[in-house]
Structure 1
Amino acid sequence: MALRFLVVEGNTRGAREAHKAAYGRMLSESYADVIQGSAKGAICDIAFPADEGANLPDAAGLESYDGIVLTGSHLSIYDRTPEITRQIDLMRAIYASRTPAFGSCWGLQVAAVAADGDVQRNPLGREVGFARRLRRTEEGRGHPMLEGRPEVYDAPAIHLDMVTVLPKDATIVATNPVSAVQAAEFRQDGGTFWGVQYHPEFSLTELAVILRLRTELMIREGFCRAPEEVHAYADDLTMLDREPSRFDLAWRHGVDSEVLDTARRTREIRNFIEHRVKVEKSVRGRE
């Protein structure tokens, strides 16, 4: 029987439409593509909790899924607007459903706050392009979420906010000099969440699109001096996605197979499916 996933899009309608216009798919749609590439035949439904009046699953509906995934978002969780509080409430319901859950970036932050943790702006500033020198913690060395990852690795990333207070029942499994919580497991109300602050789901082409959409931000925050520099960087990423064997570009941007190889880049999502979703489905099937 095919695995059933709920992909929870963190963006508001305007941000979703802008991303789709630039990339051809919403964040949730491209995330669903990654899931279906990792679990053949998987069925993915998409939810938009940022929208007022969105048709969201009830408790029984959440329990009916084999796995739930939360995407990134342009929102900042400490703003606590209705678009945000609806997502926190949904995450609390996901914990209570005990359905295996995973999230990237915003997803990690929502899961932390829903379990009484906290998220604030990173005083070191934005981590953009790639999260560098991600390192397993002692607890992370044996954690199945990072199975197959080397001790130190890089991953696509773009975020300003970070988890500053952990939930009471939490384990950090990866960290780096920019954000202490780069990968973690949270446990709340009988449910377990795995998440990362970076974006294993992003292709380099999607990352390039996101950077182009944030050209003014990239210049304002000092990452580039002119729009041409932003677009040149994005062009290189897009070319690397098309031709991962371009050693010159890989050398120029300091990336290796952990970023360039799709199976390695999406490792955490694939591990979530293998070690959480399939295992839980098997257990449920025996009950």
Structure 2
Amino acid sequence: MLRLLIADGNDRAARGRHVAATGRTSAESYAAVVRALAPGTTCRFVSPADADAALPAGLDDFDGVIFTGSTLKVSEGTPEVTRQVDLMRAALEAGRPIFGSCWGVQVAATVAGGKAAENPRGPEYGFARSITPTEEGRTHPLLAGRPAAWDAPAIHSDAVLQPPPGARVLAGNPMLGIQAIEIRYGTGWFWGTQYHPELDLDELAAMLRLCDTALVEAGFAEDAGAVAAYADEIAGLGGPDVGAARRLAWRHGIGPEILDATLRRREIGNFLARLSTSVDE
């Protein structure tokens, strides 16, 4: 039975907005995915952005750590950011295996000497398209089972622009050279994706609605109403009307790597499988 610490990257205000939009925090969403993939896993939540967060005294009680996404920016260097950088560093120095998506990747890269900032090629809102593995990524266990190219849920404007020394860049796409990465630091290791394999389609839709101002400012939509209409269609991809979902998938060019939850969550499943093997040993 695995024991995981799940660090919610959002500050208190952003967690509140996320709960209002989706009914649960990002950490709770991650835990639901983890338990579906590895039944029996125990998950403890922590919110390291909060000054009064009850951080664990040590990390030996956990087999691994997961960092969720966040609305924060590493480059701002606020106390809410530095507390999470400190937790990531402590987890890696303690030899913990870590998985993270989006924000988690940016924090891990920062700790290990890389650079995270606004992507000069622009943001990705909705899906990261045409992700392809690097030569190293083709045989890396994080991406085991992925096809030659795939799409994935994504919501970000910042990204890792410069990998840390010794990191293994595993995948990229035309918008971003680092979509998946392995980072070694201290005795710990980190696997992560800039995209969001944990997001169900209705949750992705809710997050797009929360980002409506950013989407309009980026020129992706004329107004908040257009964002809401797009988000409704994304939510409809996973709806009960199979015919309508099929038509929406055709309209948006969405394939099984997004529609099938098992395929969409593949990187998380691969991390948990590696973790289980390590624990059994």
TM range (shorter): over 0.9
What does 1:190-269 correspond to in 2, within 5 Å? 190-243=187-240, 245=242, 246-269=245-268
Answering whether residue 27 of structure 2 is matched by residue 40 of structure 1, we say no
**SS of the residue aligned with 2:122?**
coil
Alpha-carbon shift at residue 221 of structure 1 (Å):
1.4
Letter in 2 for 1:278: S
Query: Is 1:143–1:173's contact at 8 Å kept on the other side of the alignment?
Result: yes
Per-residue CA deviation, residues 69-115 of structure 1 (Å, 9 max, x unaligned), is: 00000011000000000100110101011111100000000000011
Aligned equivalent of 1:53: 52
Question: Any idea what SS the aligned residue of 1:101 has?
Answer: strand
Q: Which residue number in structure 2 is paired with residue 137 of structure 1? A: 134
For 1:264, the aligned partner's letter is: L
Corresponding residue number in structure 2 for 1:118: 115
Conservation of the 8 A alpha-carbon contact between 1:171 and 1:185: yes
| Identity among equivalent pairs (%) | 48
SS of 2:229 mapped into structure 1: helix
1:116/1:227 CA distance change after superposition, 3 Å:
same
Unaligned runs of 5+ in 1: none
SS in 2 for 1:241: coil
Amino acid at match of 1:161: D
TM-score, scaled relative to structure 2? 0.97
| Cα distance in 2, alignment partners of residues 211 and 128 from structure 1 | 7
> Is 2:272 the counterpart of 1:282?
no
**Contact 1:244/1:260 (8 A) holds in 2:** no
Tell me the SS of whatever aligns to 2:59: helix
Matched residue SS, 1:49: coil
2:16 matched residue in structure 1: 17
SS of the aligned residue for 2:238 comes to helix
SS of 1:242 mapped into structure 2: coil
Q: Which amino acid aligns with 1:252?
A: R
Stretches of structure 2 lacking an aligned partner (at least 5 in a row): none
The aligned counterpart of 2:6 is 7
Q: Given that residues 204 and 240 in structure 1 are in contact (C-alpha distance below 8 angstroms), is that contact kept between their aligned partners in structure 2? A: yes
**Which segment drifts farther, 208-217 or 70-79?**
208-217
Cα distance in 2, alignment partners of residues 87 and 269 from structure 1:
21
Are the aligned partners of 1:169 and 1:188 in contact in 2 as well (CA < 8 Å)?
no
SS in 2 for 1:89: helix
Determine if contact 1:8/1:46 at 8 Å carries over to the other structure: yes
SS of corresponding position for 1:37: helix
Q: String of CA shifts for 1:9-47, please: whole Å, max 9, x gaps.
A: 000000001110111001111011000111001111101
Instruction: Name which of 53, 60, 73 aligns with 1:76.
Output: 73
Question: 161-170 or 37-46, which moves further after superposition?
Answer: 161-170
CA distance in 1, matches of 2:240, 2:96: 38
Pick aligned residue for 1:98 from 88, 95, 100: 95
Tell me, in whole angstroms, the C-alpha distance in 2 between the residues paired with 1:234 and 1:127: 14
RMSD across aligned C-alpha pairs, in angstroms? 1.1
CA separation of 1:135 and 1:166: change in aligned 2, threshold 3 A: same
Match of 1:86 in 2: 83
Aligned-pair CA distance for 1:244: 8.1
* Structure 1 residue matching 2:6: 3-state secondary structure: strand
